[in-house]
Amino acid sequence: MTFAYDRKIHFADTDSAGVVYFARLLSICHEAYEHYLENLGVDLRSFFQNPTMAIPIVHGEIDFFSPLFCGDIIQVYLKPMSLNPKAFEIEYTIEKEDEKVATAKTRHVCINPQTRKTQPLPFYLGFNNSEK
């Protein structure tokens, strides 16, 4: 399943050269992830404050193909993929005017925040873990 998120680039997203700072675009990808969760019907407050489950990002990467500037309208296409019953990756494609300007990836692992041990992902995240 691919999910789309539209976003305008703000002045605060840019660096002193006037282009989007790499870490800000990763943050925008995380915004898209939050909107994806909301689209699934997940209550974000309880999701991020769950005392028995946390899903930290354990890896992130981004590649730029073209600069982005304040005022640009972008589309972030998010494609989550199960890696195993306890982990998943999200591939992001960032486009401006139907042109790919960046790609990113985040890897997430489900843990118990008390023990810090891995555990199975909840079923409502939209993955069919029986595939892996």
First to last CA, the chain: 16
Which residue do the tokens 């605060």 mark?
12
DSSP summary character for residue 127: -
Strand partners, 19: 69
Question: Each residue of 18-59: pLDDT tens digit?
Answer: 999 999 999 999 999 999 999 999 999 998 899 999 999 999
Overall fold of domain 3-125? Thiol Ester Dehydrase; Chain A (3.10.129)
CA distance 82 to 64: 25
Active site residues: 15
Query: Is residue 131 pLDDT above 60, yes or no?
Result: no
Rounded to 10 degrees, the C-alpha dihedral 76/31/8/103 comes to: -30
* pTM summary value: 0.89
CA distance 3 to 39: 9
